[in-house]
Amino acid sequence: MIRIAARPEVSGFRENLLRAAAALIALLASALIVALMGYNPLEVFARIISGSLGTAYRVRETVNKAIPLTVLSLGTAVAFRMKFWNIGQEGQFYLGAYGASLVAFAFPGLPAPLLLTLMFFAGFFFGGFWAFVPALLKTRFSTSETLVTLMLNYIAAKWISYLQYGPWKDPKGLGFPKIAAFSPNAVLPAFLGVHIGWIIALCLAALMYVLLKRTKLGYEIDVIGESAATARYAGMSVFRITLTAIVLSGGLCGIAGMMQASAVERSLSDQLSGGLGFTSVITSWLARLDPPSILVVAFLFSILIQGGNFLQSSLQIPASISLVLQGIIIFFVLGSEFFIRYRFVWSSEKEEKE
């Protein structure tokens, strides 16, 4: 008979070897799927690279996608490290963008540094508030944070749609349902050809690394993630730490929304995220909730996203092929995590009875 048994502790080298093997198998499986669809895998992969990194413009577009994905993934990692399954990144993203838009429309004449700073903190506050609600319900009433955060995504998205088609509809839009553009003071400036959100994302990744790895709060988050009972026994305030961590998680997602609205859309729209919030669940998990690794994984997934869009125009392949490739990659990489921790063993009927 076959049973699953815990594997003895695996060395770091072997862990990395298994993950590398999983990534290679994922590429081979992706090539097989592409071939079954009737396309040349080598040409498709070459077009993905070319479409995302082939020109300066394409590199900028890839980086533009990597910026919000990185910050969203950092926010996801904070919640996931304490086993709080926050699936509300989309809603927190939209609420952050909404908060930033409120400030941008209320004070269009403020100097750019002051206005952008206020928008930054408004994005953090509104995103944090949208995460605070499920965190409070979880700690007080033991509700499922997965369901609550997921449902709040749709409320946030519909609220933005309501504004876009109703009170905030631009009267100068010739009947087209869109919100007016921000004033120039509310737009993040560019540096080296890309808006300064990339600098903010790098700074946030460094800050989150220090916070999660070198501070008391980071240690408390990890302890609660391992066992809330142990944390209480050690004298930690699980209620306070949980609310603090989840507000931080949602706040980071709100900052991503603020940057996307300010620098890329230069307005507010119900199509602002493009599903990046859900993608951040994949990237943060594949990066093992580690901020430096998130930078790398988020950029690689941005290559897939941008390259997938290029495939649609160059080879007439649906852009959704990139979603298929993402699914294959996460399937094999998460499968490798199983084999790192467990193994299949054969046992006789006599051994089973014993």
**Cβ–Cβ contacts within 10 Å for residue 229, how many?**
10
Q: Is residue 121 part of a domain?
A: yes
Q: Is residue 308 part of a domain?
A: no
Q: pLDDT averaged over the chain?
A: 89
Q: Is residue 51 part of a domain?
A: no
User: What string of H, E and C letters represents the secondary structure of 228-274?
Assistant: HHHHHHCCCCHHHHHHHHHHHHHHHHHHHHHHHHHHHHCCCCCCCCC
What total of structural domains would you count in the chain?
1
- The answer to whether the CB of 41 falls within 8 A of the CB of 33 is no
Q: Is the pLDDT of residue 350 over 60?
A: no
Q: Which domain holds residue 187?
A: 67-287
Q: What average pLDDT does this structure show over 110-118?
A: 96
Q: Is residue 340 part of a domain?
A: no
Task: Quickly list DSSP for 118-184.
Answer: HHHHHHHHHHHHHHHHHHHHHHHH---HHHHHHHHHHHHHHHHHHHHHTTTB-TTSTT---BPPPPG
Spatial separation of the C-alpha atoms in residues 295 and 203, rounded to whole Å: 11
Residues whose CB falls within 8 Å of the CB of residue 225, separated by 6 or more in sequence, listed in order: 81, 82, 83
At 285, the pLDDT band (50, 70, 90 cuts) reads confident
Q: Is residue 182 part of a domain?
A: yes
How does strand 342-346 pair with strand 194-195? unpaired
Q: Is residue 44 part of a domain?
A: no
At 45, the pLDDT band (50, 70, 90 cuts) reads confident
Q: What's the confidence (pLDDT) of residue 112? A: 95
Q: Is residue 149 part of a domain?
A: yes
Q: Is residue 293 part of a domain?
A: no
- The answer to whether the CB of 271 falls within 8 A of the CB of 282 is no
Query: Reduced to 3 states, what is the DSSP secondary structure of residue 190?
Result: strand
Predicted TM-score of the model (pTM): 0.91
Q: What average pLDDT does this structure show over 75-104?
A: 96
